[in-house]
Structure 1
Amino acid sequence: MTQPLPGRSDLDIRASDTERTAAEERLRAAVETGRLPLAELDARLDEVHTARTRGDLETACRGLPVPGPRDSLVVDRPATSRGFVAGVFYGFERAGSWIVPARMTTWSMWGGGRLDLRKARFTSHDTVIRAFALWGGTSIIVPEDIDVDIRGIGLFGVFDKRAKNHIPKPGTPRVVIKGLALFGAVVTKTKR
């Protein structure tokens, strides 16, 4: 970033398109987390689109925090995955940025599956994942900043409970993982 000229504030510098896009995302994240009423969004977006300087963008985003990489884990958008996924003689994977439904069931039968929740968002504060592995395996990767409760059982198989984590911050999403591993495995891991 270039230094402003002497006597000139950083807020007087002309706003770039990238900075306008970041301000729009900041406003939308504030609506998703309940910090900004939806009724105010259009007026503030108009301020962003007509902003000439960085100071004008800051005025449009007044009173709002700069979103972090994991803000707004619970979103008011439809799930991007169905509530049922199966890997029968093959596999399935849900990873990257996706939206988890409130209730999800996975089947791994003579195949495998992988759910990666590290970049996922949730449709509900309480999510239930029912994982069934019959002569197959499912791997579930959870981030450190959500509440995880594992209640599955292994019958001649393994239902791993390593992803249970520390006491989460109030208001974080809660994921309950339950199901059955019969001659198979459901493995849960916590990763950043």
Structure 2
Amino acid sequence: MSMFGDSLDAAVHKAFTRPAPKGAPAQMRYLVRQMKGTRAVAQLLRVSQRTVERYVKDQIKKPRPDLAARLEGEVKKRWQPQVRARARRTAATTGGIVIDTRARIGYTAPVGTTDEGRLRHLTVALPPPYAARLFDAREQGAGDQQLQQIAAEALKEVYFQDSGRRAGSLEEVRFTDIEHLEFGL
């Protein structure tokens, strides 16, 4: 489970203009239309082609929990791709992204400063270049560690250094023990 990746995806899902299909038969019909056939959907979901056909015809309505999770994930991954792309593009070019987190945040700085990591609850608007970096890294399959590093760099610049107006001698921000993380567009 990817905390950063899932939070970025949830932020983009809030931009949807219509709700995704809810029931298993409707979700299965949507995937069959998207993938142009039951065989491809069966391979994707690791079920038989006959099972997919039975969902499409409403002969089965309630999938087992593991199949329900895979089905919902695949539908959300493909739902409204143009809306998703527009939301990412807007965040990466003009809007930026907001990070709301409760985590242990500290920094490396010269001797004599209060660099101890402490639990902080921050809600910070990150500029568009950091939103672009986060979305690009997510698209390229970056893991939580890499996304966490990008977010730490963004917090260093925006929160601690106030876009270059203070704390110019900070070297590195430590962003650990994350209790809560949420992104918003």
Greater share of helix? 2
Larger-Rg structure: 1
Greater share of strand? 1
Q: TM-score, normalised by structure 1?
A: 0.29
